[in-house]
Amino acid sequence: MERRFAIIEHRAPSSGKINLNDLPGSSGRIDVLARAINTALFLSHGIREDTDVTLHLMGGTGPARRIWLQGSRLRGVHPDERAIAGQIAKALKNPIPAIGQWVELHPGFWHSGGAIEQTIREWEKEACRIFVLDAEGVPFSKDPLNHESVGFILSDDQPFSDIELKSMESIEKVSLGSTWLQGNACISILHHLIDN
C-alpha cells in the first residue's frame, strides 16, 4: 500500500535562508521536518519507494510553499538531518511555483505553492484515503484499509491552526494512543503497522 505523509511546519520559512547551524532555532523547526523525512523515507539501506512526503512550509512573510519528496524517484538526498535541511534550503532560493503547479528541482524533489487544503484536494482526486493524526482521535486501525493509497496529516510541535482544522473537518481523526508523541515516532509506528 502506498503511504503519504503531509507535515505542516508552521514557522519554517517558505522563502529566504535557513541557518543550517541552528536547525531547531532560527528557522522554525526544520529539524522536525528533517527527522520526519528521514523516518518516512529511509530504510537501513535504501529508500521506501512506496512512500511520499509533502512538507508544508507556512512561516515567513510570503506565500506558503510545499515540497514533495517522491520516494519512487528520489535521488541525491541523504539520511542525515543537516543534508536534508540543505536540500530544503536550496529549494527556498527558487521562486514559489503557482498553487498546484509542481516543479521538479531534482529527481523526486518537487515544489509548489499552496497549503494543506490543496494537498487534501490533490490526494482526494487521486483516491487516497486520508487521516488526520490526533492523539485525541479514534484509535487507528489498519484493518479496514483496502485502498491502494493512504495519507496521514501531521502537525509540527504546534497544534493545527483554525484554518487547517476547517479544511480537515470532514477527515477522520485517528489516534496512535492518548500520549502525544513526536511526529517522526508516529510515522515509524504507522510504517510498522502497515508493513506488518
Ligand X SMILES: C[S@@+](CC[C@H](N)C(=O)[O-])C[C@H]1O[C@@H](n2cnc3c(N)ncnc32)[C@H](O)[C@@H]1O
Among 71, 108, 113, 183, binds ligand X (CB under 6 A): 183
| Cα–Cα distance measured from residue 118 to residue 167, given in angstroms and rounded to the nearest whole number | 9
Among 135, 145, 171, 194, binds ligand X (CB under 6 A): 135
| Cα–Cα distance measured from residue 43 to residue 151, given in angstroms and rounded to the nearest whole number | 19
Phi, psi (deg, nearest 5) at residue 100: 85, -10
Binding status of residue 157 toward ligand X by CB under 6 A: yes
Residue 25, all three cell numbers: 532555532
Stretch that binds ligand X, among 49-57, 64-72, 161-169, 170-178 (CB under 6 A): 170-178
Please report how close the Cβ of residue 161 comes to ligand X at its closest, in angstroms. 11
Binding status of residue 154 toward ligand X by CB under 6 A: yes
Please report how close the Cβ of residue 131 comes to ligand X at its closest, in angstroms. 9
CB nearer ligand X, residue 23 or residue 186 = 186
Binding status of residue 180 toward ligand X by CB under 6 A: yes
| Cα–Cα distance measured from residue 93 to residue 101, given in angstroms and rounded to the nearest whole number | 17
Which residues, other chains included, contact 134 with Cβ-Cβ below 8 Å and sequence gap of 6+? Answer: 173, 174, 175
Please report how close the Cβ of residue 53 comes to ligand X at its closest, in angstroms. 14
Cell numbers 541552528: residue: 22
Among 48, 176, 190, 191, binds ligand X (CB under 6 A): 176
Binding status of residue 24 toward ligand X by CB under 6 A: no
CB nearer ligand X, residue 40 or residue 154 = 154
Q: Contact 132/170 with Cβ under 8 angstroms?
A: no
Is residue 120 classed as helix, strand or coil in its secondary structure? helix
| Cα–Cα distance measured from residue 110 to residue 92, given in angstroms and rounded to the nearest whole number | 12
Stretch that binds ligand X, among 18-26, 38-46, 108-116, 176-184 (CB under 6 A): 176-184
Residues of span 105-134 touching ligand X by CB under 6 A: 133-134
Of all residues in the chain, what percent are helix, strand and coil, respectively (each to 5)? 25, 35, 40
Footprint of ligand X (CB under 6 A): 133-135, 154-155, 157, 159, 175-177, 179-183, 186
